[in-house]
Amino acid sequence: MDFQLMIDSIPQLLVGMWMTVKLVALALALGICLAVPLALGRVSKNPFLWMPVYSFIFVFRGTPLLVQIFIVYYGLGQFEAVRESIVWPFFKEAYWCAIFTFTLNTSAYTAEILRGAIQAVPHGEVEAARALGMPRLLMLRRIIVPRAFRLALPAYGNEIILMLKGSALASTITLLDLTGIARVIVARTFAPYELFIMAAIMYLVLTLLIVRALKYAEWRLSPHLRPPPISDQ
């Protein structure tokens, strides 16, 4: 094993890791914004709301992320209406195609996570809000959605990690993320073992940081689960 090559490749891999962080962070931020109304539509009793949302979630959860990326990056450009529209400058760039696909994919998974969390909110809390005369929108904003976010946090943490690993597929559409940079160096040095080990280590570091951040968020959002302070008396 060429340890010197592994060390020399770190600066270039760090550039790719930064691209990976940007892709994942932006996709997750946009995805959670889209997932909240999708989750509310999913728990609605109105079929004109929940049926389109269910179809959207079913499609994006039921098809591989790689296929979704290829459809957006290679497929949309086949339509003349898309090429002549105002969105073509957006879709002709691999970066924005990846962001668009990752956002839709993670929003589908996150919406289903939030749907389960909303339905898991204790019924007594909802009844207490109704007894206080809270309007429906205020109850959603002050009681149901914040409580659902706390309940959904462990499962959403898994989705963040899955999105981080899935972001490696961005390298298939020419983006030089962490995996893409590793592939470029491998093509030049013919040393796949060393380079992909370094890439794996960097993914593990990112995963560790995410896990620690989620643990801290759970601790902050669940004060009732913290052990009581030990009295000196």
Q: Which of 200, 197, 220, 145 is nearest to 2 (CA)?
A: 197
Q: Is 152 within the bounds of a domain? A: yes
Q: Is 230 within the bounds of a domain? A: no
The whole-number average pLDDT for the span 10-30 is 96
Count of domains for the chain: 1
Q: Is 231 within the bounds of a domain? A: no
The whole-number average pLDDT for the span 110-134 is 90
DSSP 1: -
Quote the strand ranges of the chain, DSSP E: none
The model's pTM: 0.91
Averaged pLDDT score across all residues of the chain: 92
- Tell the burial category of 31 from Cβ atoms under 10 Å away from its Cβ (0-12, 13-18, 19+): buried
pLDDT at 221: 78
Q: Is 232 within the bounds of a domain? A: no
Question: How big is the chain, counted in residues?
Answer: 233
pLDDT at 188 over 70: yes
Q: How far apart are CA 35 and CA 102, in angstroms?
A: 13
Q: Which of 117, 112, 205 is nearest to 159 (CA)?
A: 112
Q: Is 233 within the bounds of a domain? A: no
User: What tokens does 95 get?
Assistant: 């970066």
Q: What is the pLDDT of residues 84-109, one digit of tens each?
A: 999 999 999 999 999 999 999 999 99
pLDDT at 118 over 80: yes
The whole-number average pLDDT for the span 154-178 is 95
- Domain of residue 147, residue span: 3-222
Domain CATH number, residue 126: 1.10.3720.10
The whole-number average pLDDT for the span 195-211 is 96
